[in-house]
Amino acid sequence: MTRILAITNQKGGVGKTTTGVNLAASLGAAKRRVLLIDLDPQGNATMGSGVDKRGLKNTIYHVLIGSNGIAGTTVRAGGADYDLLPANRDLAGAEVEMVDIDRRETRLKEALAQIDGDYDFILIDCPPALNLLTLNGLTAADAVMIPMQCEYYALEGLSDLVATVKKVRAHLNPALEIEGLLRTMYDPRNMLAQQVSAQLIQHFGDKVYRTVIPRNIRLAEAPSHGVPVLKFDRTSKGAQAYLALAGEMLNRHEMAEV
């Protein structure tokens, strides 16, 4: 059964795209069938997967407006074991065009129904805003993964995001749940980071992943080479952290099924 995860946070720069690309590569390395959906008009997940967004004829934009199906739009990530539904700046126009379309919040969900069972995991890299694109991601998802830095404003932003998830659950997607909170760009020497981390665990318990993504230069360099860090430097702390996250996720799901 396919598990659909929306990777989202209304705050930018917290590692959403980094998590989408590297978690997809890590799950692929674990022999799972994975689709990564780039739902951000910036197209960073597309470029980070080794696909040139400027040369694309078909993207998720065409899926959302109904001119293409997902099966005919996906491409293989460059040098990694997952499929990609790419995006470029055309996607910015989709919101305007979708305003007059019926069931505009469920366009992605309806498109994904056509490939139900084709993948073990579908990861949706949402834009850093609560807009119609993000609503499509949340409506299509089974659960939300929230990457966040352990810093001063993070908890306030998190409470807003949790409120958003509750609203989507009430009006659009009754089954939506929080899959987990992922601590990113973590520096254990930072006292504030330790305090925020402790507060997260206090409030959310086992919803906080045990795996922590550290600040890591190889993780930061990989996108400029158009590959996940797993293909750039498998021995780096960043690559090992995302492999560990994939393992933790798989263990959680296996236990839940049992």
Say what the pLDDT of residue 254 is: 84
Please give the domain boundaries of the chain with CATH numbers for all domains. Answer: 3-257 (3.40.50.300)
pLDDT along the chain (258 residues), means of 10: 94 92 97 97 96 94 94 92 96 86 92 96 94 95 95 82 93 96 92 92 94 95 93 96 97 82
Q: What is the pLDDT of residue 130?
A: 84
Q: How far, in Å, CA of 25 to CA of 32, rounded? A: 10
pLDDT at 188: 85
Report CA-CA distances (Å) from 220 to 20, 189, 190: 14, 19, 19
**What pLDDT score does 160 carry?**
87
| The predicted structure's pLDDT at residue 217 | 94
